[in-house]
Amino acid sequence: MAQIVKRAYKYRFYPTPGQAEELARTFGCVRLVYNKALEERTRAYTLEGRRVSYVESSAALTQWKRADELAFLNEVSSVPLQQALRHLQSAFANFFARRAKYPTFKSRKKSRASAEYTRSAFRWRDGRLTLAKMSDPLDIVWSRPLPEGAEPSTVTVSQDAAGRWFVSLLVEEKIAPLDPTGSLVGVDAGITSLVTLSTGEKVTNPRHERADRRKLAKAQQALARKAKGSANRAKAQLKVARVYARIADRRRDHLHKLTTRLVRENQTVVIEDLTVRNLVKNGSLARAISDASWRELRSMLEYKAAWYGRELLVIDRWFPSSKLCSACGALQESMPLAVREWACACGAAHDRDVNAAKNILAAGLAER
C-alpha cells in the first residue's frame, strides 16, 4: 500500500545580485537571532535553573526588533527568524532528552548559511518560486522534476562553502512499496571494499578523497601562503572548498546508487551498528573511515527501506562477525586486521569480509 512521505528535493539556483544580497542579509539575521536566543536561554538555565520556552523567545524577538541597534532585523522576512527559534527549541528538546549535546553558537565561517521559509513566506506558481522580500522568482536549475501536483510546504535556501546556492523544497509524495523479493543480504562495511555482501560480492571503495588528495593538498598549500584577512586568502579558501565539494558530491552520488540498488534487490538488509565516532579515533584509519561515510550509508538505507517496504536489521556492534566461522560456528581467539583470509579447523576456507557478511546476515535473522 502506497504511503505519503515528506521528501526534500534539492536544486541549484543562480540568484541575481539583488537576491544574493537579500539572502546574505537574511542568513546573517538568522544566525544573530539564533545566537542571541541561545545566549538568553543559557543565562536563564545557568543562573536561574529555568528553561525558556519558544513562546518566550518569540516575544523576545519582537522586543529586539524594536531596539534601535537591532532595527535591521525588520528588513528581512520574519519567517526565517521564527524558524531559527523553532530549530533552537528542537535542539534544546533533544538535549534535555539526552539525544544530543548542548546547542552551540553558530559561526559565520564554520556554520552552514541557510534560511527556512514556510508557506506564508514564499509564492509557488506554475513551477516558479518567489521568496518573501523578492520581486522576481529564483532561477532554479530543475535537474529532476518534482512529483506531479506537488506543492512545497517548506523551502530552505542555503549557500555552501564553495559559494554554490541551493534551494530545498519539502513536499508530500506518495511512494508505492517495491514488489516483494525473497532475497536477503548481509552487509559488511569496510575500507578496501566499501561493502562486502553475503553473496560474495565486493563493492570497491572509490576513495574519492584519495583521488583528489593531490589537488586538495596543492589548494591547501596555496591557502597557507596567503595573508589572513586578504582578498587572495578568500579566493584560496574558495578553491579549497570547491575541491571538498567535489569530493562530497561524488561520494554522495555513489552512496545513493549503492543503497538504492541494495534496497531494490533485497527484501531484508542486515548491517552492523558501527560507532564511527570511536573508530575515527584510530589515527591510521581515520581518514579512510571518514572517506567511506559509513554513517551516511546507514542513514540512506534506513529511510529508503522505510519508503519502499523493505526490512533493515541492525545487529549489535560487539558481535564477533570476523572471528566466527560461518560454516561451523567456531569462534577464533583473535583475528588481526591484517588477516584477510583464514581457514577454520572444520576445513572451511574464508575470505575475512565475505565470512563476516554471512555472519551478519545470520545474526540479523536470528534476532528478528
Q: Which residues are catalytic?
A: 188, 272, 353
194 and 292 in contact (C-beta within 8 Å)?
Answer: yes
DSSP string, 244-267: HHHHHHHHHHHHHHHHHHHHHH-S
Q: Using CB atoms within 10 Å of the CB of residue 58, give its burial: 0 to 12 exposed, 13 to 18 middle, 19+ buried.
A: middle
- Percent of the chain as helix, strand, coil, to the nearest 5: 45, 20, 35
CA dihedral for 87, 259, 318, 267, sign (positive or negative): positive
Q: Using CA atoms, how far apart are residues 147 and 234, in angstroms rounded to an integer? A: 39
Give how far the C-alpha of residue 162 lies from the chain's centroid of Cα atoms, to the nearest Å: 17
What cell was used for 303? 529511510
The amino acid that residue 368 corresponds to is R
Q: Taking every pair of C-alpha atoms in the chain, what is the biggest distance, in angstroms?
A: 81
Give how far the C-alpha of residue 141 lies from the chain's centroid of Cα atoms, to the nearest Å: 22
330 and 359 in contact (C-beta within 8 Å)?
Answer: no
H helix runs in the chain, sequence order: 17-43, 54-66, 78-96, 208-211, 213-224, 231-265, 276-279, 286-292, 294-307, 352-366
